[in-house]
């Protein structure tokens, strides 16, 4: 297990390409989010009429948790985002469907969020909203989607409950599909709950490897393709096209969290590294310092994006996963064993840092980067 050397800053070929230029403006979305979060929080009292209660600490976390007595119930809905467009572009260029890969991405978006609270994912529902009935007429593509979806369910040990396959001409663009998944699971036994109350100074930070871009940063990645001489087929490594590298499916981390529980390890907290990149390590509300001493190798496609978008390390690590797909905050005595359990499930892992008392900040020592409390505003 070797840590990657920090990538030396390289001169951007053209003007740097920011995430906002790529079309996502969080300033417009965030007021709605705040308003929705407040309204949502005000509905928690309804559970009392059923004899239940929410786990208040799960508000603002990656999955919502309620206490139903013998165990906790966790639920989530998540979407793939714009990665389907990359699959469509690559299908046109390569003549084969990539929907098996993005099916896994979609399930990963939901499952990897659900497991952060300590839940075992049990049921996935499919949401496949196409731009018209004719989307479903491409049998090879539809079969790839079904096959990839099932395989991802098999990998996570979840039951595929059913779903919805609407044809939404006029809402979803013609020839496109909006893929999402909902996931429901149980925290069972209840000691598995990891909403951060046990997170504290002295905990070790174990980072699990990503397989590439996963499903966050695709707006940027798609924008960037306009600058590439061979477009999607530009090589990011010998024999590996930019498009194919982007379409490496997201790692499913549920087998790791389940194996950890079987090994007697209950993480104190977990963070799924998605949008906002490594700033997600600051996800929990506590005032704690996260000091990273070892960074994982950067997947070639992310190194390539950083270089061609003209990003410095700060922008890259605050936008993309840069090789770390999931963070486990565990008791220091469990750190090395956590790595071993993950590796036994085929997922690269490393003890990357430590939680310290101190102001809320993320310090990535090998890169000389610090992100403060203001770097991530999710609540």
Q: Write out the binding residues for a second copy, residues 74-133 only, by CB under 8 A.
A: 75-79, 81-82, 84-85, 120, 122-123, 125-127, 129, 132-133
Distance CA 100, CA 148 (A): 4
Q: Which is nearer to a second copy, 84 or 101 (CB)?
A: 84
Cα–Cα distance, 208 to 339 (Å, whole number): 8
Among 1, 40, 201, 287, the residue binding a second copy under the rule CB under 8 A is 40
Q: Which stretch binds a second copy (CB under 8 A): 40-48, 197-205, 299-307, 339-347?
A: 40-48
Contact criterion met (CB below 8 Å) for 232 and 90? yes
Contacts of 229 (CB under 8 A, 6+ apart): none
Look at residue 167 and give its three-state secondary structure.
Answer: strand
- Output the smallest distance, CB 150 to a second copy, in A: 4
Residues 123-182 that bind a second copy (CB under 8 A): 123, 125-127, 129, 132-134, 136-137, 139, 142-143, 146-147, 149-150, 153-154, 157-173, 176-178, 180-182
From 34-42, 283-291, 313-321, 337-345, span contacting a second copy (CB under 8 A)? 34-42
For residue 362, the cross-strand partners are 290, 371
Which lies closer to a second copy via its Cβ, residue 35 or residue 333?
A: 35
Report the candidate in 134, 158, 11, 179 with the shortest Cα–Cα distance to residue 75.
158
Q: What are phi and psi of 339, to 5 degrees?
A: -60, -45
In contact, 256 and 345? CB cutoff 8 Å: yes
Kindly indicate which of the ranges 3-11, 70-78, 231-239, 285-293 contains the residues binding a second copy, using the contact rule CB under 8 A: 70-78
Burial of 363 (0-12, 13-18, 19+ CB in 10 A): middle
Beta strands of 84-238 (E only): which ranges? 120-130, 159-164, 177-187, 204-209, 235-237
Provide the minimum distance between the beta carbon of 26 and a second copy in the complex, in angstroms, as a whole number.
7
Please enumerate in sequence order all residues whose Cβ is within 8 A of that of 356, keeping only pairs 6 or more positions apart, or say none: 201, 202, 288, 289, 290, 291
Interface of this chain with a second copy, residues 208 to 227, rule: CB under 8 A: 219, 222
Choice between 257 and 361, CB closer to a second copy: 257
CB of 185 to a second copy, least distance (A): 9
3-state secondary structure of 123: strand
Q: Nearest distance from residue 18's CB to a second copy, in Å?
A: 14
By CB under 8 A, what part of segment 45-64 binds a second copy? 46-47, 49-50, 52, 54, 59, 64
- Which residue of 3, 44, 93, 363 would you call a contact of a second copy, by CB under 8 A? 44
Total number of residues that touch a second copy (CB under 8 A) = 89
Cα radius of gyration rounded to whole Å, the chain: 20
Q: How far is the CB of 172 from a second copy (least distance, A)?
A: 6
Residue with Cβ nearer a second copy (199 or 215): 215
Q: CA 317 to CA 304: how far, in whole Å?
A: 14
- Asked if 283 touches a second copy (CB under 8 A), the answer is no
Is the peptide bond prior to 133 cis by the omega test (within 30 degrees of 0)?
no
User: Does the footprint of a second copy cover residue 190 (CB under 8 A)?
Assistant: no
Cα distance between residue 110 and residue 63, in whole Å: 9
Of the two residues 122 and 245, which places its CB atom closer to a second copy in the complex? 122
Least distance to a second copy from the beta carbon of 158, Å? 6
213 in Cβ contact with 81 (< 8 Å): no
Instruction: Determine if 11 is a binding residue for a second copy (CB under 8 A).
Output: no
Going across the sheet that includes 204-209, the strands are 269-272, 324-330, 204-209, 349-357, 288-292, 361-364, 369-371
By the rule CB under 8 A, 285 interacts with a second copy: no
35 binds a second copy (CB under 8 A): yes
The reply to whether 270 sits near a second copy by the rule CB under 8 A is no
């Amino acid at each position: 297990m070797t840590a990657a050397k920090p990538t030396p800053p390289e001169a951007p070929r053209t003007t740097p390409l920011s995430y906002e230029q790529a079309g996502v403006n969080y300033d417009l979305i965030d007021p709605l989010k705040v308003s929705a979060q407040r309204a949502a929080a005000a509905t928690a009292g309804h559970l009392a009429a059923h004899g239940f209660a929410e786990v208040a600490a799960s508000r603002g976390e990656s999955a919502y948790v309620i206490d139903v007595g013998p165990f906790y119930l966790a639920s989530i809905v998540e979407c793939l985002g714009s990665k389907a467009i990359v699959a469509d572009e690559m299908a046109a260029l390569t003549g084969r469907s990539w929907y098996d890969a993005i099916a896994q991405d979609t399930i990963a978006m939901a499952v990897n969020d659900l497991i952060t609270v300590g839940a075992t994912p049990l049921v996935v529902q499919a949401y496949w909203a196409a731009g018209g009935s004719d989307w479903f007429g491409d049998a090879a593509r539809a079969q790839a989607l079904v096959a990839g979806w099932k395989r991802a369910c098999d990998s996570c040990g979840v039951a595929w409950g059913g779903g919805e396959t609407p044809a939404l001409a006029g809402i979803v663009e013609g020839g496109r599909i909006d893929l999402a998944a909902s996931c429901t699971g149980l925290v069972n036994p209840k000691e598995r709950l990891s909403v951060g109350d046990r997170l504290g100074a002295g905990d070790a930070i174990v980072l699990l490897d990503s397989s590439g871009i996963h499903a966050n940063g695709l707006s940027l990645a798609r924008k960037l393709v306009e600058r590439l001489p061979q477009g999607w087929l530009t090589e990011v490594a010998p024999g590996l096209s930019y498009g194919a590298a982007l379409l490496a499916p997201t790692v499913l981390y549920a087998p790791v969290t389940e194996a950890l529980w079987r090994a007697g390890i209950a993480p104190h907290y977990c963070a799924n590294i998605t949008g906002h990149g490594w700033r997600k390590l600051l996800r929990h509300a506590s005032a704690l310092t996260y000091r990273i001493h070892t960074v994982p190798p950067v997947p070639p496609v992310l190194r390539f994006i950083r270089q061609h978008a003209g990003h410095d390390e700060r922008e890259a690590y605050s936008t993309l996963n840069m090789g770390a797909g999931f963070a486990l905050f565990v008791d220091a005595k469990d750190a090395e064993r956590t790595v071993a359990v993950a590796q036994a499930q085929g997922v690269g892992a490393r003890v990357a840092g430590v939680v310290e008392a101190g102001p809320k900040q993320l310090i990535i020592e090998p890169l000389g980067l610090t992100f403060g409390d203001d770097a991530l505003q999710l609540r």
